[in-house]
Amino acid sequence: METIYDILKAEHKQVADLIQQAMRDGSKETFFKIKAKTEPHLLGEEKLFYPILEEKSELRELVSHAYEEHNEIKSISSELESMDAGSPNWTSKIKELNESVTHHVEEEENKVFPEAQRALSDDKAQQIAQQYLDFSKSFKQQHPMP
């Protein structure tokens, strides 16, 4: 079975590709695809992954910083949701989203995941992976694409 780290990294890559696409096509449709990928990812990490990491005192600061970055991504995303794709700020907002997501992904992949791998047993990581996949599936069923 894939580890939680492989699952999350694969989703990071999918989001990065979609953001590149959004920067090329400038469409709101592509933005909604980004949102549909990003929302369950952020929520799943917050519900199932970060709380386990927060139990380790050495990871607490790293995780609280990650929450702040999630909030920044969510706030940029909700601004985009209320904008028209043709509006003058659209392109710069998409770029802002790109910078914010890229930065957060780098921190997770280079700092959070290696620390988590040290702190969590393989069994625990596998349990989180299964819970994450279940959560992601039911989230997508409850929030179908518009």
Query: Using CB under 5 A as the criterion, which residues of the chain lie in contact with Fe ion when the complex forms?
Result: 8, 45, 108
- Of 45 and 129, the one with the shorter C-beta distance to Fe ion is 45
| Closest separation in Å from C-beta 58 to Fe ion | 18
| Closest separation in Å from C-beta 74 to Fe ion | 11
- Of 45 and 90, the one with the shorter C-beta distance to Fe ion is 45
How many alpha carbons lie under 13 Å from residue 24 in its C-beta half-sphere? Answer: 6
Find the Cα–Cα–Cα–Cα dihedral 74, 80, 81, 86, rounded to 10°: -170
Quickly tell me which residue has 């999350």 as its tokens.
8
| Closest separation in Å from C-beta 88 to Fe ion | 30
- Of 11 and 94, the one with the shorter C-beta distance to Fe ion is 11
- CB atoms near residue 131 (< 10 Å): 16
